[in-house]
Amino acid sequence: MPGSRRRFLAQSIGFGTMFAAGVPLLGACGGDSASGKRVTKAIKDGLSPEAGPLRVFNFADYVNPDVVAKFEEQYGVKVEITTFDVDAEAISKLASGAVEVDVHHSCAPATLSRLIDGGLLQPLNPSYLTNRGNVLSAFDDPWYDPGSTYTVPYTVYSSGIGYRADRIDPAEIEERGWDIIWDARFKGVTSILDDYREGISLALLRRGITDINTTDVDLIEQASADLQELVDLVNVKVNITGYTDVPEGATTLAHTWSGDMLAGAASYLPEGTDASVLGWWFPKDSKGPVGNDCMAVTSNASNPVLAHLYINFLLDAAIAEENWYWNGYLPPIEGLDAAYLVGQGLTPPNLESAVLTDDIIKNGLTYRPLDLETDQVWEAAWSRFTAG
Amino acid sequence: MVPLHGRLSTRLWAGLATPGTVWLVALFVVPVYAILAVAFGNIDPILRTTAPEWNPLLWDFGPFRMILDRILDPDDLGAVFIRTGLFALAALAGCCLIGYPVAYFVARTAHRSRGLLLALLVLPFWISYLMRMLAWVNLLQTDGYINRLLGWLQLPSNRNWLDGDWPTVVIGLVYGYVPFFILPLYAALERLDVRWLEAARDLGATPVWTFLRVTLPLSIPGLLAASVIVVLPMCGDYFTNSYLTGGSPRTEMVGNQIEQFLRGSSQPQSGASLVIILMLLLVVLMAYYLVTIARSQREASA
């Protein structure tokens, strides 16, 4: 996914150093001669785990350290986590050989084909993934990885509207949907996600266009113009801090990720503020953006068996729950559903709809890879909006 | 014919300049060429990572031209460049208003406490710029200390400073860069020959007149150096704006657009093109500074 609550600060700091060091030029310096032997076949059955250390590549603060410590204890190995800030940086570093790791912990479906076609991942051997059956059936044969050859899903989330239920009537949002973002009553207290796919899609969805991968230049330009309207109309803010801004009250309406509202309820409400002030809206017909991150083993992994065991470990239901509680983003594991989470008191009842159902995962809209030319049209349209 | 010791000394100086030359080539010329190679280069078709073109004969100027067109459009990136320039000028004015008196005081008046004051000026650098901006976010919140102070002074105290307004960005820029402004200005004022001031006084000039006719003109090279030092990084700044406006497009600066294109987009060429154009604009500023300095040195020696 493009970013998250805990990652915001780390990303910003990281980007400062990345910018200074000229990471965009890394590819320039590294060429495509990645070191290490790359394999294109899955490992054999029944191999014993390597001695480690297991090298994991992930967003900062995106896995519970206690869970990692449990894995280290169980298998008697060290886990070394290397972090990246944005998806494209991960691809660039893996491709150039600047980073050599065993597990890519958070691949994005929209860019997965780059990793596979670029020969950077190896097929998984299901015999090591004994907990694979715990994963929701919606992910048996995902569009981005037919037959789940290379990946298993790590987290799922949807993009919708997080809001203050003490300031807007939930019934009004239910009636108006995405259009509520264009309401001048909420001038100064409205934000949208700082991501070109999410932002342009918000404007498309508001006009009832559910093709969030459109190649139609007129539609994209129209969406850009609609977003530009928000600058004066509601003095819109473009960020990924809805997880704190809504609970703290600085923002009333935030186009944000479902995980951010769940995390906001768990960790960011000021003292004395009840979780009932938070609300979450996602289209009732499930026609809204749904995304997931997934885990994979790199093609030049030197600990491929251990890498499989690590992925399998995170698919264990109890471990997944422990990880969710710290991370805020829900793993697509059977049983970790709204009824269970609300029943256990882990999620407030008013945010029940932020927990993804099988139906939302199956019928939600997904961001697909765009061809280069279309991608550039989307990016230019977004840049025209953010230029103010 | 140059005497032997003269030739030896020339070689010695050339040798001593080698590390500096290597430094310049490695950390300036090569990166700038790399930016050109990215701006006029390609994209890897599979990985969508930047594929720089090192051979100038194969350079593609298409993306650069596209960005240039957008900059020439005052409703598009043109607005971002103008806004960035205005923010930098306003912040420079703020730096002059705050920085000049401080530099003057430290250089001319504070004798015993000079070391301590200089140390205090450098102290903020011990804390990361990011942390200092986050501290400002707390100070400027609607219920933060700034509004409380205004309320205490019986002034309007319900302003939402973080609502994407330009004064907040300018305050942030002034705060972030004013120490860089004070230090070179201090150095210039500290070098100022006291005999000039004494002569002015002996000839009957009042303190104000002495300042306006002697101190201020003599400190112009220092002022220019200080201005160049702060304006250059301000024009590329993107942190201040991101943090103090919650990401409002109304205060978007060139640095934010560069970040957007270079942070994993499918058109790093556009980001690198923006870097080049910004650099060219700043080179003009730099050239003006160098010409002025050269002129004032000629006048001084005449």
Of B77, B142, B264, the CB nearest to A87: B264
**A160 close to A281: Cβ distance less than 8 angstroms:** yes
Separation of CA A63 from chain center? 13
Q: Would residue B74 count as lying in a domain? A: no
Answer whether B163 sits within 8 Å of A375, measured CB to CB: no
pLDDT tens digits along A222-261: 999 999 999 999 999 998 888 889 998 889 999 999 988 9
Does residue B222 share a domain with residue B136?
yes
CATH code of A218's domain: 3.40.190.10
Residues A367 and A294 sit within 8 Å (Cβ to Cβ):
no
Binary contact (A95, B251; C-beta < 8 A): no
| Pair (B269, B213) in one structural domain | yes
Looking at chain B, which residue has its C-alpha nearest residue A227?
B249
The pair of three-digit structure tokens given for residue A245, joined into one six-digit string: 């801004």
Q: How far apart are CA A161 and CA A180, in angstroms?
A: 9
- Can you spell out the DSSP letters for B132-167? HHHHHHHHHSTTSHHHHHHHHTTS-----TTTT-HH
B120 and B20 both lie in a single domain = no
pLDDT of res. A31:
37
Domain that holds residue B187: 79-301
Chain B residues with CB-CB distance to A188 below 8 A: 160, 163
On the question of pLDDT at A13 being above 70, the answer is: no
Asked, for residue A303, whether it belongs to a domain, the answer is: yes
Q: What confidence score (pLDDT) does residue B1 get? A: 52
Share of chain A above pLDDT 90, in %: 61
In a domain, A355, yes or no: no
Size of interface A-B (CB pairs under 8 A): 141
Using CB atoms, pick whichever of A114, A118, A237 lies closest to residue B246.
Answer: A237
Flag whether A357 is in a domain: no
Instruction: Answer whether residue A143 is part of any domain.
Output: yes
pLDDT given at position B6 = 67
Q: Do A194 and B50 touch (CB under 8 A)?
A: no
A76 burial (CB, 10 Å; 0-12 / 13-18 / 19+) is: exposed
CB A74 within 8 A of CB B251: no
> How far apart (Å, rounded) are the C-alpha atoms in residues A74 and A59?
24
Higher pLDDT, B198 or A180: A180
- In this structure, are A136 and A218 located in the same domain? no
Domain presence at residue B71: no
Residue B68, in any domain of the structure = no
Cα separation, A264 vs A164, in Å, equals 12
Do B185 and B122 have their domain in common?
Answer: yes
Which residues on A lie below 8 Å from B77 (Cβ)? 383, 387
Give, in order, the Cα–Cα distances in Å from A41 to each of A33, A304, B213: 20, 11, 81
Give chain B's domain count.
Answer: 2
**A15 and A152: one domain?**
yes
Residues A28 and A70 in one domain: yes
Q: Which residues of A touch B31 (CB under 8 A)?
A: 22, 25
Residue B42 lies in a domain: yes
Nearest CA in chain A to B76: A384
Task: Kindly identify which residue of chain B lies nearest to residue A16, measuring between CA atoms.
Answer: B239
Find, in chain B, the residue whose alpha carbon is nearest to that of A388: B249
Domain presence at residue A358: no
Give the Cα separation of B277 and A164 in Å (integer). 43
Q: How many domains does chain A have?
A: 2
B165 and B249 housed in the same domain: yes
Q: Which residue has the higher pLDDT, A197 or A61?
A: A197
Residues B179, B279, single domain; the answer is: yes
Residues A107 and A228 reside in one and the same domain: no
Is B178 within a domain? yes
B281 domain-assigned: yes
Q: CB atoms < 10 A from the CB of A12, how many? A: 16
pLDDT by residue for chain B (302 residues), tens only, comes to 556 666 777 788 888 888 888 888 888 889 999 999 999 999 888 888 888 999 999 999 999 999 999 999 998 999 999 999 999 999 999 999 999 999 998 888 777 788 888 888 888 878 888 888 888 888 888 888 988 999 898 888 788 888 888 999 999 999 999 999 999 999 888 888 888 888 888 888 888 888 888 888 888 888 998 999 999 999 999 888 888 988 899 999 999 999 989 887 888 999 999 999 999 999 988 888 888 888 877 877 76
**pLDDT reported for residue A35:** 45
Q: Quote the pLDDT of residue B4.
A: 60
What CA–CA distances, in Å, run from A143 to A138, A139, A196, A277, A370?
10, 9, 22, 37, 14
pLDDT digits (tens, 9 = 90+) for A182-225: 999 999 999 999 999 999 999 999 999 999 999 999 999 999 99
CA distance A46 to chain B (A): 33
- A386 with B77: Cβ contact below 8 A: no
- Whether residue A125 is found in the same domain as residue A101: yes
Domain shared by A312 and A371, yes or no: no
CB contact under 8 A, B76 and A387: yes
* Residue B4 burial (10 A CB sphere; 0-12, 13-18, 19+): exposed
Chain B's closest residue to A383, CA to CA, is B257
- Establish if B114 belongs to a structural domain: yes
Same domain, A90 and A113: yes
Exposure of A118 by Cβ count < 10 A (0-12 exposed, 13-18 middle, 19+ buried)?
A: buried
- Tell me if B245 and A237 make a contact (CB, 8 A cut-off): yes
- Angle (CA) A90-A95-A96 rounded to 5° is 105
| B128, B260, B264: residue with CB nearest A88 | B264
ipTM for the assembly: 0.86
A124/A23 same-domain check: yes
Same domain, A326 and A373: no
Contact B34 A28 (CB under 8 A): yes
Q: Which domain holds residue A214?
A: 158-289+367-386
Predicted confidence (pLDDT) at residue A5 exceeds the cutoff of 50: no
Contact residues, chain B, for A372 at CB < 8 Å: 43, 45, 48, 266
Please check whether residue A2 lies inside any domain of the structure: no
Instruction: Say yes or no: A136 and A176 in one domain.
Output: no
Could you write out the DSSP letters of every residue in A70-130?
HHHHHHT--EEEEEESSHHHHHHHHHHTSS--SEEEEE-HHHHHHHHHTT-EE---GGG-T
Which of A65-74, A263-272, B17-26 is modeled with the greatest confidence? A65-74
On whether residue B67 sits in a domain, the answer given is no
- CATH number reported for the structural domain that contains residue B292 in this entry: 1.10.3720.10
Q: Give the 3-state secondary structure of residue B185.
A: helix
pLDDT band for position A50 (50/70/90)?
A: very high
pTM recorded for the entire structure: 0.86
Q: What is the pLDDT confidence band of residue A1, given thresholds at 50, 70 and 90?
A: very low
| A248 and A262 share one domain | yes
Cα–Cα distance, A275 to A164 (Å, whole number)? 10
